[in-house]
């Protein structure tokens, strides 16, 4: 039986979300934007896992179950994001989102 500080986890996940938002707003490379979204999403998943770990009954495992689903969503999002990266690169010749104006060929 161990105990971990709740404040520490909240600061960690809040900090990760802030870093993700910062990356989302400042980066221009599509792959870096994807990474920033992943960092922000991991902050959310961390909260689900943390609060599930302290539930007194097994029903608290719902938090972990939702975390599993969220990890699946994140993987799908990266796959679709990379498909957009490849399409952008083929059509526009760059993956800089500031220059990307359309996905049509």
Helices 30-53 & 6-26 angle (0-180, nearest 10): 170
Residue closer to another protein (CB basis): 25 or 102: 25
Q: How far is the CB of 40 from another protein (least distance, A)?
A: 10
Residue closer to another protein (CB basis): 79 or 102: 79
Which candidate, 33, 40, 30, places its Cα nearest to that of 84? 30
Q: How far is the CB of 7 from another protein (least distance, A)?
A: 7
As given in the structure block, the two tokens for residue 40 are: 């922000």
Residue closer to another protein (CB basis): 61 or 102: 61
User: What is the CB-side half-sphere exposure of residue 66 using CA atoms within 13 A?
Assistant: 17
Q: How far is the CB of 101 from another protein (least distance, A)?
A: 17
- The 10 Å Cβ neighbour count of residue 48 is 19
Q: How far is the CB of 33 from another protein (least distance, A)?
A: 10
Backbone angles phi, psi at 93, to 5 degrees: 80, 10
């Amino acid at each position: 039986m161990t105990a971990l500080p709740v404040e520490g986890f909240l600061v960690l996940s809040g900090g990760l979300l802030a870093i993700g938002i910062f990356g989302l707003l400042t980066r221009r490379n599509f792959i870096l934007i994807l990474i920033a979204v992943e960092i922000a999403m991991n902050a959310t998943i961390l909260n689900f896992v943390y609060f599930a770990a302290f539930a007194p009954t097994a029903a608290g495992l719902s938090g972990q179950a939702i975390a599993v689903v969220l990890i699946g969503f994140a993987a799908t999002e990266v796959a679709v994001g990379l498909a957009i990266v490849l399409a952008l690169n083929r059509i526009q010749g760059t993956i800089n989102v500031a220059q990307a104006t359309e996905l049509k060929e």
